[in-house]
Structure formats: C-alpha cells, structure tokens
Amino acid sequence: MKTSRRFFLAGTGALAATALTGQARAQDVINDILGSSRRGNWDTQFDARASEGGKVATTQPIFSQQTVSYVQNAIANYQNIVAQGGWPVVPATKKLQLGVSDPDVEPLRKRLMVSGDLSPSAGISPAFDTYVDSAVKRFQTRHGLPSDGVLGQYSYAAMNVSAPVRLGQLQTNLQRLSEKAGTLGDRYVMVNIPAAQIEAVENGRVVLRHTAIVGKIDRQTPILDSKINEIIVNPYWNAPESIVRKDIIPLMRKNPQYLADNSIRILGPNGEIDPTTIDWNTEDAAKFRFRQDPGKINAMASVKINFPNSHAVYMHDTPQQSLFSKLMRFDSSGCVRVQNVRDLVTWLLRDTPGWSRQRFEQTIKSGESTPVQLTNPVPVHFTYVSAWSTGDGVAQFRDDVYARDGVQELQMSQAL
C-alpha cells in the first residue's frame, strides 16, 4: 500500500463510517512504518518531506473554535496510534544530531514517522540526515523546545512520553479549550502558563506573540480573568510580604548593603526607616513596606501592566532579559514578565488619546513614574493549556509544570 504522511494524519472525521475507515488506514500506515524497509544511503529520497497538513507556527488563537476542531481531529489520530501500540521508545543515551550514523537513529526515525514529523518515504536507516534533522526540529518546535535538531535530555523526555499519556493530555485540554473558545471577544490578551507565552488577539487572529516568565512551582501564577485598565510607566515596585520574608530578609542578613545597592526604601507609618535600626535576625521587617525606586534596576524595569484581581499579580518588564532565553521560564513569584513588553503596551494604548509609541518612549526616558488609564480596558486571561493543535496533524504539547493534568509523566521539568 502506498502511504504518505498526509494520508496517515488525515482526520478520521465525525461520522462513524469515516472514523472506521480512518482507523483502518492509520493501522496500515503504522504497520508500514514499523516494518519499513531499510535505506542505507544518505539523501537518496529527495521526495521525503515533513507534513504539509498543518503549520506549527500560526496566527490562530489558542482559544478559537478552529483550535477545538483541530484538537478533536488530533484526538482521533492519537486514538488510532494508541490502538496500534503507540510509538517505539528512543534510547536516551547518546547525543544524536545531523551527520551521526548510529543504530539508535532507526527507532528515532520510526518514532518521528508515527507522530507525523517525518515522512514514511524517508525510509529506515541509521543515518541522521537532513530529513531527520528537519523532523527533529519540527518535533522540538511542537513541544516548545529549542529547535536545534540536537537530541538532549529534554527532547528525549518529550519524545518518550507514551502515546496513551499524550492522548489523555489532549483530552484533558480539549475540555479547557471548549469552555472558553470563541467567548473571549474581539480584542484580548491571553497568557498561557505552561507555554510561558502571551497572545495579543484581535479580530480572530494573533497580532502579537510574546515570550513570558511565569511563576515558580512554589509561587504559581494564578488562573484569572480581568481587564487591563492601567499602564504605569517607570513604576515603583512594592515588594509583596512573601518576597520580603523569603528573599529580602535573608539577603539583608548576608549583605547589609542590599537595599541601598538596589534602591529599595523601607516605609513605615511615619516615613522612611533606616535599615540599620531593624533587627534582621528576626522577621520584624515584614510589617513594613519595601518600595524600589523607578530605574533600570527596578524589578519591573520600564513598565507595569495593571488589572484588578484578588491575587495582587500583574504583568511587567524586567531588567533580567536573559531569563527569556531559558528553556524553563518558570522563575517569577507569580507575576508575568513580558519580553518586548513595549510592543504590547503600544498595542494596549492604541485607543488611549495622546499615547503614541513616541510619547511612551519619551516618558520612559524621563524616569518619572507616570500612570496611564486605558480609555478602553482590554480583557486579559491567565489560562492553563498544556496541549492544543495549530492545524491538521499538528499537536502541540508543553510541560505540565503545575501538575494540573494529573499525570506525573508530564511533569518533565521536575523530573530532570
């Protein structure tokens, strides 16, 4: 039987007869993959291409009816994969990358074919060629990993999550998506916590996508719905009591100059308090307010994005830009740091008269703390979606960092 990845990943459809036909065809294709003939030479199959069934990168919002439909199709495909025994385990003992010839590449090829990242026409061989390289990069992108084509611990961990667990992850997240898809309005901001990513959505498409830093496992970013109503340019930072207790007091015990070095003042009922008058061996300082002056070293850097909520969280800039390049971006105390935040703020302020990008940038340079009320508050949603689909045959998966999917195998960041 002649096979193609498009044929393999085609959705089984809603009708029972169509579903049965899809299952039979998927069975034929998986059997062909697992029993595929070897191909010993490099680059002899010039027609081996990755899937054309759907794009990994898209302007489609995660919370859209189209996403729900794609996830339903993905579930049907994964049910077929599970019914045929899933995919092979790839030995996680070596650094596999372009140019390597190794027996472990053979199960890697089969694994990538079953999930639809590598065309079956690429054949089975120990050669890590350009086709395998492209397939690995596609797999990495779908799993929120750096798409460098190199098999390391995180890629192996994602690759060796079993097909039944991935199916369950899709089913769990379909419910989350179905509850909100199509209900968020024409213009909104969505923070997806497991993906550590932000979407600015307008008229049914993503107009801006930002990398984010979200809360640590022990200081989680909450699920919430609100409206962004205020931008503060050059904000003061008021340290939450939890940070005073967990971070600032221990730092002052080690370095009595910590507050002065970081432009942080202690404010009491009668004004500013001299840090030398406080016993730092106790937690007495937690009853006071700690406020950091605006500036480059301010914890929120240039801007703070405010919205009413009971968790006292917000979105903001950060002086620690290097954190955005980290693989696991779960490093905050619950608030959300935004990469390229000035682009997002410009979009948010679009309908607020007098606040062009030029004026915004000039205000940052002034160093003065300046609150700006939005003329039209913009809805914001902090959500938790660890699996979704961006097109037919394209399933996206992320680490279940807060253990909300109920399967320990998906909490990779805690295991590695």
Active site residues: 316, 335
Residue holding tokens 């931008």? 231
- First-to-last CA distance in the chain? 41
* Integer CA distances (angstroms), 67 to 150, 171, 290, in order: 29, 13, 44
Phi, psi for residue 371 in degrees, rounded to 5: -80, 140
Q: Distance between CA 164 and CA 186 in Å, rounded?
A: 36
300: three-class secondary structure by DSSP: coil
Residue holding tokens 């077929």? 80
Orientation of helix 65-83 relative to helix 16-34, angle to 10°: 60
* Integer CA distances (angstroms), 365 to 127, 234, 344, 345, in order: 55, 9, 18, 16
The answer to whether 329 and 323 have CB atoms below 8 angstroms apart is yes
Closest CA to 206 of 193, 196, 191, 194: 191
Orientation of helix 105-114 relative to helix 130-142, angle to 10°: 50
Pairing assessment for the beta strands 387-391 and 394-397 based on DSSP bridges: antiparallel
